[in-house]
Amino acid sequence: MRILVHICCGPCGITVLQRLLSQGHELEGLFFNPNIQPLGEYMLRREGVSLAAERLRIPLRFADALPKEEQEWRDPWLPARTEQPDEYADALPPAVDPAPWLRAVAGRESARCLFCCRVRLQKTAELALAWGFDGFTSSLLYSRHQKHDHIRKLGEIVAASVGPRFVYEDFRVFWQEGIRLSKAWRIYRQQYCGCLFSEYERYRRNFLRSPDAG
């Protein structure tokens, strides 16, 4: 089967790609993660995915390098929001610009993770259909920190509405091997999920422990 694999970061992608290759699938990777902030973090993870794909000899497409119309996205289960005027004279591509993502989650931060996963799965499925892939999947299914059953359900819903098959497997069984290989290959290992809210949750305890806090 020809599968488009959404990859959220290098460490999460390694064993997912290895497993699918071992099953005889023809793969191509997609780096589409508008949730990753700030830009410096995005660049580090972009490079990490590139190194993993190169090591495994997997073709890789970066969403931020696609034509603008292929980068644009929205929450597929909510009415389209009226976009605010672009405040940046040198606006980044839609797949990188933080403004649309922050506007989308404003006021529903507690539900951001479900929103974040479905946006990425939806875009992956749409591109898989446009590019002639038989199926799609995501390295999100590798992480022990993600809501695995929700991601599986979202993938199945998206597949039913868009067309390409959602290729499901519980890749969490390869968790330790992914950690080992990412360290051995010296691929950047992030300390939080991606957005500024997850960065805040990751480091707030450190702040509260600091002697000058409060």
Number of domains present in the structure of the chain:
1
DSSP for 112-146 reads: HHHHHHHHHHHHHHHHHHHTT-SEEEEGGGG-TTS
pLDDT for res 188: 97
pLDDT for res 1: 97
Please report whether residue 214 resides in a domain. no
Q: Dump pLDDT digits (tens) for 33-75.
A: 999 999 999 999 999 999 999 999 999 999 999 999 899 897 7
Q: Dump pLDDT digits (tens) for 164-200.
A: 999 999 999 999 999 999 999 999 999 999 999 999 9
pLDDT band at residue 212 under the 50/70/90 scheme: low
pLDDT for res 213: 56
Q: Which structural domain, as residue segments, surrounds residue 105?
A: 2-209
For residue 207, pLDDT over 90 is answered with: no
CATH number at residue 77: 3.40.50.620
8 A C-beta contact, residue 195 and residue 117: no
pLDDT for res 110: 87
**pTM score:** 0.91
Edge to edge, the sheet with strand 135-138 lists 60-62, 26-31, 2-6, 135-138, 165-166
Please report whether residue 77 resides in a domain. yes
